[in-house]
Structure 1
């Protein structure tokens, strides 16, 4: 898991197992030198490095708030380990992704969450809904919940796990208008766990005080410099980190403006 300082472990890919074509980014299953297996999201994908920045910040924030997120690691990737991959488009993606990429611990037998596959209490639903509202995650819908249940039924009681946060932190795609988004209300109408609205006030009371500037600096520090360099309007990667912290700190203090109401 991430260290106390916020750093993620770094592993080296030793074998490219297969691509996953369920999403537009075409992540891949990769084995690494720590004997672990990871779902890797690549810097060369169409979503680009900002999707990986969002994955790290939101995933590590969720973990520190007590939500279940598979371990995130940085993956050193040499395209030569996938030299036998037959698909030209996938090869192009892999060759564009040499260097550091993001891996998520592979959960064997995990099942995509759909209503009815697991009884999610209103309090657990509210915790996830609060996180998504805070981070402006637009991709936790009934059609694309980005939630899985694991372990498989019959082993231990399945639990809900959060995956795929690359669509969160939408403000960082337009830094010049980010200040206007600090208090932007969250649209909950199509959220996969909308029944958690009834417990949102309790989730806000529990989580709001935990999201301090210190905690945010810790999770933002887990993002590699390489994914923050060259950001227009910023003189250094530290300035970019400070901008993430400032925006999220301000949003945490302004939940009355963006938190969805308890009832429709």
Structure 2
């Protein structure tokens, strides 16, 4: 069965409130489909690269059948935010006109607490594998970036993954890194099925799937001042990074097992 990685487009109609837990100042907002979203802004600190990381990380999680809120492309009109009293937020909104990214707001969800909820070994292994694959530095005891909603575990916030793109040099070396920061992962103690998960997930993430995921990055997010590459050239680097990393998954799988021991 083929997966469809195309995202819906919504227009943001109402800024409700800032969510100050994150450094990038995301917001709770409402769109023209009458749903509420956690809105991530391209005008925030790391710009569109954080949105690309959020998009690719979320799409890979979807391809692996892990739970995460629906991702949508969220349009901000040029008039949006002019009446906002807070100057910092007004600047953020003005700098984010056009295409942004949003996650469906899970009303009533609570932050995952490892002291309260035990995650089974298979699911823990799947999430640890995902985060080692996409080099996600941000799923720790300090900041779990997971929610409990309707008694199920949901993944959020992948904007800190794929950090190789902030320097945009020697992606191949980064792709073949063991990812030593996995030692800080909140679910590492439960991740005892990592070899079995590796076999399962390598079969799921075909080159066609990875290409479909990378192809969803909008051109608007690939106009980088510090890089001369075309949008398609940049997409090719993301694809090659993911494909190479997958082919050498034993490097980060061994690192996971080493960190667990």
Does the 8 Å contact 1:228/1:240 carry over to 2? yes
Aligned: 1:167 with 2:160? yes
Aligned counterparts, 1:154-193, within 5 A: 158-187=151-180, 188-193=182-187
The alpha-carbon deviation at position 258 of structure 1 amounts to 1.8
Aligned: 1:131 with 2:127? no
Provide the C-alpha distance between the structure 1 equivalents of 2:111 and 2:126, rounded to a whole number of angstroms.
19
Provide the C-alpha distance between the structure 2 equivalents of 1:15 and 1:21, rounded to a whole number of angstroms.
18
**Aligned with 1:205: secondary structure?**
helix
Provide the C-alpha distance between the structure 2 equivalents of 1:230 and 1:172, rounded to a whole number of angstroms.
11
Unaligned runs of 5+ in 1: 152-157
Aligned counterparts, 1:50-61, within 5 A: 50-61=49-60
Instruction: Provide the residue aligned with 1:207 in structure 2.
Output: 201
Does the 8 Å contact 1:234/1:240 carry over to 2? no
Distance verdict in 2 for CA 1:233–1:96, change over 3 Å: closer
Aligned counterparts, 1:89-168, within 5 A: 89-151=88-150, 158-168=151-161
Per-residue deviation, residues 58-115 of structure 1 (Å, max 9, x unmatched) = 1011011110010000011125343443211111111111111101000011111111
The alpha-carbon deviation at position 5 of structure 1 amounts to 4.5
Deviates more, 1:66-75 or 1:206-215: 206-215
Aligned: 1:219 with 2:213? yes
Aligned: 1:248 with 2:242? yes
Provide the C-alpha distance between the structure 2 equivalents of 1:134 and 1:256, rounded to a whole number of angstroms.
10
Instruction: Provide the residue aligned with 1:45 in structure 2.
Output: 44
Does the 8 Å contact 1:6/1:221 carry over to 2? no
**Aligned with 2:137: secondary structure?**
coil
Does the 8 Å contact 1:231/1:240 carry over to 2? no
RMSD: 1.6
Provide the C-alpha distance between the structure 2 equivalents of 1:76 and 1:61, rounded to a whole number of angstroms.
23
Aligned: 1:88 with 2:48? no
**Aligned with 2:139: secondary structure?**
coil
**Aligned with 1:175: secondary structure?**
coil
Provide the C-alpha distance between the structure 2 equivalents of 1:247 and 1:81, rounded to a whole number of angstroms.
36
Does the 8 Å contact 2:172/2:244 carry over to 1? no
**Aligned with 1:230: secondary structure?**
coil
Provide the C-alpha distance between the structure 2 equivalents of 1:73 and 1:218, rounded to a whole number of angstroms.
16
The alpha-carbon deviation at position 195 of structure 1 amounts to 1.9
Provide the C-alpha distance between the structure 1 equivalents of 2:228 and 2:245, rounded to a whole number of angstroms.
21
Distance verdict in 2 for CA 1:238–1:143, change over 3 Å: same
TM-score of the aligned structures, taking structure 2 as reference length: 0.93
**Aligned with 2:165: secondary structure?**
helix
Q: For 1:258, which of 248, 252, 260 is the aligned residue?
A: 252
Unaligned runs of 5+ in 2: none
Per-residue deviation, residues 181-229 of structure 1 (Å, max 9, x unmatched) = 1221122221110123311111101101221211111111121111112
Provide the C-alpha distance between the structure 1 equivalents of 2:164 and 2:155, rounded to a whole number of angstroms.
21
